[in-house]
Structure 1
Amino acid sequence: MRQVRKVPFSVAFGIVWLAAMIFIAFFADMLRPYGITAMDLRARLSLPGNPAHFLGTDELGRDVLSRLVQSIRVSFTIAFGATIISAVFGTALGFAAAKFRGVIEQFVLMLADFQAALPFLVMALAVLAFFGSSMPLLIGLMGFYGWERYARIARGLAISASAQGYASAVVQLGATPARVYMRHILPNVASTLIVSMTLTFPEIILMESGLSFLGLGVQPPESSLGNMVGFGREYLTRAPWIMLAPAFVIMMTTLSISLVGDWLRDKLDPTLR
C-alpha cells in the first residue's frame, strides 16, 4: 500500500488511461456498437449524446464512437509494432558496435548520425507516395524511426557493462558472446531501453497521425486516429466532434505515456535513488 501512495496522481491517471487504451485495442471488436463502415444517412452529423450514437455521427452517418474504438486499435498496433522493431534493430546494432568496435563501430555510428540528420517525415512521405500505403509497410517504415537512440544507448551501456566484473567472469567461464549479451548485459541495461521506448512510442503515434492526416497513412475504409482528424477537419465548424474526439485521445495518450515514462526513468535510474 505504501508503494501505491507514492505514485503521483498524474502518473496514476496516465497508467489508468493507458490501461484503458490497451483494453480498447484488444477488445475493439466487442466494444464497437456498429461497424466502422455502417452508414445511417438519416442520422448524419448527429450531435453527441444521442442514445443511438453517444459521440455523434460523421458526414456519412457513421458512428464516431465505433470508428474511434477501431482507430485506437489501429494506431496502437502501428505504434507498438514500430516501437518494438525500432528497439530491437537499434539495440542489435548498438551491441554489434560494442562487441566488434573498430570499423563496424564507426559504420554503425555513421548510420546513426545519418539517421539523426535525415528529415524522417519527408522520407516517409516519399516512400509512401512511391510504394503506396499498407499496414505492414507503415509499421516497417515507422520502425526505422528513432532506432539511432537505442543504438547509441545500447552501445554505451554495453561497453560499460563489458568492463565490469560480471561480464568478464562469464567470459572466463566459457560463455559465448551471444549468451553474454543476451543473458547478462541485456537484463542490466533493459530498464534504460524500456524508458527510451516510452519516449519513442508517443512520437510514433504522432508521426502516424501526421501521415494519416496528410492522406498517406492508413487508408479507407480502415480508420486511425490521424485519419479521423484529417477527415474531420472539413467539418470543424459544423461538426467539431468528428475531429475533437480522436484529437483528444491523441493528446491524452501522448501525455500519459510521457508522464509514465518520466516516472519510470526516475524510478529505474540508480543515480536518483
Structure 2
Amino acid sequence: MNLFVAHPALRRWLPVAPALLILGMFVLAALLAPWLAPADPAAQQLLGRLKPPGSTAGHHHYLLGSDELGRDLLSRLLWGARVSLSVALGGVLCSAVIGSLAGMLAGYLRGIVEVMVMRIADVFLAIPALLLAILVVAILGPSLFNLLLVLILTRWPRYARVAHGQTLALAERPYVRLASFMGAGPLRVLARHILPNLLGPLLVVATLEFGLLVLFEAGLSFLGLGVQPPMASWGAMLSSGRNYFNAAWWVGTLPGVCLFLLVLSANRLGTALTQWLTPNTLNSQP
C-alpha cells in the first residue's frame, strides 16, 4: 500500500482527487438531468410551496424541498447545473479560440497587427464586465445567447495576452526561425510549431477561467441580466431564495453550496495545473 501511494503520478493526482470527483459529479448531474430530475423544473404547485426537504405535497415528494412557487428544488438544481456548465464551457471554448488565435497572430506577425490586436484587447479589458453586460442586455435584451456573448467579449483578452507573450518568446526559437526560413507560411508555423507549445499555458488559463465564468453567469442571473425565468439558474435561485431565507433557508442555501463547490473544485484543479504544466511548457523543446 505504501508503494502504491508513493508512486509519483499518484502523489501528483491524489491532492486534486476530491476536486476531480466533485467536478465529475456535477458534469454527470448536468448530462443526466433529464433522467435524474424527479419533476419538471418549471412545474408549479402552489399547494407545495416552501416545503422543507423530505416533505410531501399531494403525490410529489420533495427530496430537497420546494421554492416559493412549489417547484421541485432538486430538479431545478440539476437543470441549473446544466445551464451553468454549458454557459461556462461555451464561454471558455469560444473565448479561448478567439483570444488564442488573435494573440498568436499578433505575436508572430508583429507590426500593425500586433498594435491593433493588443490595443483592442486593452479596450475590452478596461470596460467593466458588469457595465458591458448591462449595455448588451439593454440593446439586445436578456437571453442565454446574449449572456454567452458578454462572456466571450470580456474574457477573450485574457487568452490573447497569454498567447501573445508566449508567441513572442517562441518565435525566436531556432526551430521556428528555421521553419520560416525554409518557406513555411505563418499559418503553418503557428499550427505546427507555436500552438503545441501554447496548449499548456492556455489549458491553465481555461481551467481558472471556467470557475470565473460560472460565478459570472450566476452573478448576472442573480441581477436579472442572465438566464431568464422559467429556466433554472443557480444565480436566479439565489436571488429568489434571499427573500425567504428566514422561513425557507434551503431555497437559497442549496444553490449557493452547489455554486461554492463547483467553483472551488475548478479553481483547485486550475491551481494544480498551473504547478504542473507551466514550468514544463515554458522550458520544453519539441
Q: What is the TM-score normalised by the length of structure 1?
A: 0.94
Separation (CA, whole Å) in 1 of partners of 2:63 and 2:111: 61
Residues 128-153 of structure 1 deviation map (CA, whole Å, 9 limit, x = unaligned): 12311122221122111222121111
Give the equivalent residue in structure 2 for 1:163.
172
Show the counterpart of 2:154.
145
Q: Report how far residue 201 of structure 1 moved.
A: 1.2
Shift of 1:8: 4.2
- 3-state SS of 1:21 partner: helix
Q: Name which of 35, 39, 48 aligns with 2:44.
A: 39
Could you give the per-residue CA deviations for residues 204-251 of structure 1, whole angstroms, max 9, x where no partner exists? 111111111111110111111111111111111111101111111111
Contact residue 219 and residue 235 of structure 2 kept, 8 A: yes
Aligned to 2:197: 188
Question: Could you say which residue in structure 1 is the equivalent of 2:124?
Answer: 115
Counterpart among 2, 15, 21 of residue 16 in structure 1: 21
Aligned 8 A contact 1:84 1:143 in 2: no
Residue 24 of structure 1, CA deviation: 1.3
Q: Write the mapping of 1:1-273 to structure 2, written as runs, cut at 5 A.
A: 1=4, 2=7, 3-9=9-15, 11-50=16-55, 52-270=61-279
* Root-mean-square deviation (Å): 1.7
When normalised by structure 2's length, the TM-score is 0.90
Moved over 6 A (4+): none
Counterpart of 1:117 in structure 2: which amino acid?
A: A
3-state SS in 1 of match to 2:55: coil
Q: Distance in 2 between matches of 1:108 and 1:18?
A: 35
SS of the counterpart of 2:154? coil
Residues matched between the structures, number: 272
Hey, what's the Cα distance between the residues in 2 that align with 1:42 and 1:98? 62
Output the CA distance in 2 between the equivalents of 1:4 and 1:56.
40
Structure-1 separation of matches of 2:34 and 2:178: 52
The answer (yes or no) to whether the contact 1:121–1:207 under 8 Å persists in 2 is no
C-alpha contact 2:19 2:266 (8 A) present in aligned 1: yes
CA deviation after TM superposition for structure 1 residue 190, in Å = 0.5
1: CA distance, partners of 2:224 / 2:138:
10
Name the SS of the counterpart of 2:43 in structure 1: coil
- Structure 1: how far apart are the matches of 2:228 and 2:148? 14
Structure 2 vs 1, CA of residues 166 and 50 (structure 1 numbering), >3 Å: closer, same or farther? farther
